[in-house]
Amino acid sequence: MKPVKIGILGLGTVGGGAAKVLQRNAAEIARRAGREIIITRASASDLSKPRLCDTSNIEMTTNGFDIISDPEIDIIVETIGGAGVVKDMVLQAIENGKHVVTANKSLIALHGNEIFAKASEKGVIVAFEAAVAGGIPIIKAIREGLSGNQIEWLAGIINGTSNFILTEMRDKGRDFADVLAEAQALGYAEADPTFDVEGIDAGHKLTILASIAFGIPLQFDKVYTEGITQITRTDVEYAEQLGYRIKSLGVARKTEKGIELRVHPTLIPERRLIANVNGVMNAVLVKGDAVGATLYYGAGAGAEPTGSAVVADVIDVVRALTSDPENRVPHLAFQANALADIPVLDSGDFQTAYYLRLHAEDKSGVLADVTRILADCDISIEAILQKPPAKNETIVPIILLTQVTQEHKLNAAIAKIEQLETVSGKVNRIRLETLG
């Protein structure tokens, strides 16, 4: 059979990593795909830059539309990123009958519904394994491996940059800005790193995971996101004294009322495997009704790990080139006409436990006032830690862990606690998941 020709839009960290893997493992890949796969064209914005892969047989251009309109090319790999002109490129590629492989989670989370509809109309595949959790084949695992299950919930460390920052800050006491700069130099961070540290990138990934887990349309605008920038060394230390680690977690959970979609710093019991996922590594826990809890672990960012996922998608597409479009695995795991309109819950309806840190006067009755407010709001306490005052101080830190409650009850309790004359400043709140 003739080789399959591919064109890569964007030959940076991921595009270059994927090309390098395709070149190095060409023979093994051809044995798997049943045909040789060759990169004939690629685009970048600065053609003088050095590349991770061998470009001697690749025709380079700064204009990706030239590649998209090349009739010789069967598959377009999109590894530029962003959702502006790139969306036009992907839609044009589909219009031209090309299959698309992308690592672009913002594009899929924001415009996936439109892109998949167009792809189905044109009978082409849009594959996006690399968009979530780097090298971990989590899309395939949920979409195909767990397709017999009702997924109850999933929870994951799905941003490598934030996990790298939290790990370095905790283990080595390093400065936030300094670790972020290293993550950028290593090619882990997004073009705009606030996407990483403010939970937006994880929100994009959670949007995709929830869609394939629960058979709902992609709806990033309904995801609650909270970043890691407010986490202090003090909270990390108190959490550890209570037997917990703080991780940025994406949680998608189906409840009787609807679906929770949330990304936020989270206390996790240190005995859980996922609490010990460090550095740029990612991990996703998926709970199915038949299989129980399953855990997937691997590198969440970087050139070759993400390239591995891109190449796997390319091979899948090559294998499917001769298949009937009607009988392919659906893009979002469920048949397009079977997606359900399940409501996504507001944050007030979230059900979780909480870590609270407040500062109060060191005198009798203060703790009783706080616990009475919590009881009045129907919130049970799991643990209390009161530290002695520092020398010459009369204010003491009090740390409380609550049992699972509804977030609107907790918000009401915090408002009342902050009004106590004996309590100074704001109550610091971090959600807690036992993941049992």
Q: Say if residues 94 and 120 touch (Cβ distance below 8 Å).
A: no
Q: Which does 104 bind (CB under 5 to 8 A by kind): ligand HSE, ligand NDP, none?
A: ligand NDP
Q: Which does 55 bind (CB under 5 to 8 A by kind): ligand HSE, ligand NDP, none?
A: none
Count CA atoms closer than 13 A to 356's CA, side-chain side: 32
Instruction: Rule CB under 6 A: choose which of 104, 159, 211, 248 binds ligand HSE.
Output: 159
Decide if residue 433 touches ligand HSE (CB under 6 A). Answer: no
Output the CA–CA distances (angstroms, integers) from residue 328 to 53, 54, 276, 332, in the order listed. Answer: 32, 33, 37, 11
By CB under 6 A, the count of residues binding ligand HSE is 11
Between CA 1 and CA 247 the distance in angstroms is: 49
Q: Which two tokens stand for residue 80?
A: 């530029």
Sign of the CA dihedral with 256 first, then 257, 261, and 267 last: negative
Tell me the CA end-to-end span of the chain in Å, nearest whole number: 51
Between CA 260 and CA 59 the distance in angstroms is: 46
Q: Give the shortest CB-194-to-ligand NDP separation in angstroms.
A: 13
| Selected range binding ligand NDP among 100-108, 137-145, 394-402, 405-413, rule: CB under 6 A | 100-108
Decide if residue 167 touches ligand HSE (CB under 6 A). Answer: no
Decide if residue 189 touches ligand HSE (CB under 6 A). Answer: yes
Decide if residue 310 touches ligand HSE (CB under 6 A). Answer: no
Decide if residue 301 touches ligand HSE (CB under 6 A). Answer: yes
Instruction: Rule CB under 6 A: choose which of 68, 75, 79, 213 binds ligand NDP.
Output: 79
Instruction: Rule CB under 6 A: choose which of 128, 153, 188, 244 binds ligand HSE.
Output: 188
Decide if residue 187 touches ligand NDP (CB under 6 A). Answer: yes
**Residue 203's closest CA among 113, 135, 263?**
263
Instruction: Rule CB under 6 A: choose which of 20, 29, 41, 64 binds ligand NDP.
Output: 64
Instruction: Rule CB under 6 A: choose which of 128, 153, 164, 188 binds ligand NDP.
Output: 188
Sign of the CA dihedral with 8 first, then 10, 15, and 20 last: positive
Q: CA torsion angle for 175, 105, 191, 174 (degrees, to 10)?
A: 10
Q: Taking the CA atoms of the chain, what radius of gyration do you get in angstroms?
A: 24
Instruction: Rule CB under 6 A: choose which of 12, 112, 134, 156 binds ligand HSE.
Output: 134
Other Cβ atoms closer than 10 A to 198: 18
Q: Which two tokens stand for residue 378?
A: 């129907």
Q: Which does 199 bind (CB under 5 to 8 A by kind): ligand HSE, ligand NDP, none?
A: none
| Residue 122 appears among annotated catalytic residues | no
Decide if residue 281 touches ligand HSE (CB under 6 A). Answer: no
Q: Give the shortest CB-20-to-ligand NDP separation in angstroms.
A: 12
Active-site position among 20, 87, 205, 254: 205
Decide if residue 190 touches ligand HSE (CB under 6 A). Answer: yes
Nearer to ligand HSE, 196 or 235 (CB): 196
Q: CA torsion angle for 293, 296, 301, 306 (degrees, to 10)?
A: -130
Decide if residue 248 touches ligand NDP (CB under 6 A). Answer: no
Q: Which does 99 bind (CB under 5 to 8 A by kind): ligand HSE, ligand NDP, none?
A: none
Between CA 323 and CA 236 the distance in angstroms is: 52
Burial of 323 (0-12, 13-18, 19+ CB in 10 A): exposed
Nearer to ligand HSE, 194 or 371 (CB): 194
Instruction: Rule CB under 6 A: choose which of 129, 196, 316, 433 binds ligand HSE.
Output: 196
**Residue 248's closest CA among 170, 332, 138?**
170
- Kindly list the strands in the beta sheet with 59-61, ordered across the sheet, starting from the edge strand earlier in the chain: 59-61, 37-43, 4-9, 75-78, 99-102, 126-127
Nearer to ligand NDP, 57 or 419 (CB): 57
Catalytic residues: 205
Binding site residues, ligand NDP, CB under 6 A: 9-15, 43-46, 49, 64, 79-81, 103-105, 130, 134, 187-188, 190-191, 301-302, 306
Binding site residues, ligand HSE, CB under 6 A: 134, 159-161, 188-190, 196, 201, 300-301
